[in-house]
Chains A and B, each alone.
Chain A
Amino acid sequence: MSDNQDILEFPVVENFSPIVNAEIYGITKNTKFVAIIDTGYEGFLQIPLATGIKANLRLWGIRSWNLADNSKVKMLECIGKIRFAGKDLTGIISLSETSEDCLLGMQFLEELKMDFTVSLTRKKAIFQTLPKRIDEEAKESIPKTEPIPEKPSEKVKMPEISKIEIKP
């Protein structure tokens, strides 16, 4: 994988999770990690507490998360920068005491500004930078013209019912 590519492909593993590799910039050192793209997770990045300590991130607060099973869990929150697909992205990183997984969520995808597609038939997770959205391109290609004034519609003359002859 080289930096700043327009299309990046990563594997989708057997339990249908798209897996990517990225790097956290800590205050003193960088830490590489492998993460699952989780579109049900609204945050930027969640990593195990131990990984966060290793990365030496800057603490900013605490958050109580509601999980899918309706349970609540507290997580430390840090500010951090990660490198993915040749881009440096900054966001709030949650540190989990209970989970061993690294999750990249919707906030990450929003910051990344790339289209993300999962192909279960090809077992690929695809990140793509589109040069321009097709609808935007189409809009620009339409020459600007004055609107054509509407012609008054010609009314179709219907025969009066009384004048219609019904032949036996």
Chain B
Amino acid sequence: MLFLRKIKTMEENTQANFNIITFTLSGEKLSKETNNLDLVSKFGNELYQKNKDFIKEKIKDNWFVVIEPVSGTLMASPNQLELYEYAKKEFPESLFFSVGLLRNNLLSYVR
């Protein structure tokens, strides 16, 4: 079952606020941190594919998404560097499966 685990607002400066949203995804997870990128990719991609509809419903267009495959945590942010810093702080030993930019509704931008 999916649930909203944490919403955190990070302030970079007085002019810009960036949001980090995290979810715990359902599905099979890696048993421990590994440097084997094939395993990171396999488990990360499977978690993404299994929860794809939910992710696309909950995450805004043009947000960057990464998945930590041991805990099954999805992290999303409109700012890629903020996302990187947050993910490395939360999971310093992990390698991440990067989904990249979510783009659900490209047609809506064209008039």
Contacts and interface: CB of A to CB of B under 8 A. Distances in A.
B80 A77 contact: no
B84 interface: yes
B84 A79 contact: yes
A77 B81 contact: no
Interface stretch (B3-11, B20-28, B36-44, B51-59): B36-44
- Size range of the chain B interface in the assembly: 10 to 19
A61 B97 contact: yes
Contacts, number: 44
Given A65-B100, A90-B81, A91-B81, A60 B88 contact: yes
- Size range of the chain A interface in the assembly: 10 to 19
A107 B97 contact: no
Nearest to B48: A64
Contacts of A61: 40, 66, 95-98
B30 interface: no
Interface of A: 42-44, 59-65, 74, 76-77, 79, 90-92, 107
B97 A62 contact: yes
State the majority secondary structure of interface residues on B.
helix
A42 B40 CA distance: 23
Given A42-B100, A42-B101, A64 B41 contact: yes
A59 B81 contact: no
B57 to A, nearest CB: 20
Contacts of B45: 64
Nearest to A79: B84
A64 to B, nearest CB: 6
A113 B88 CA distance: 26
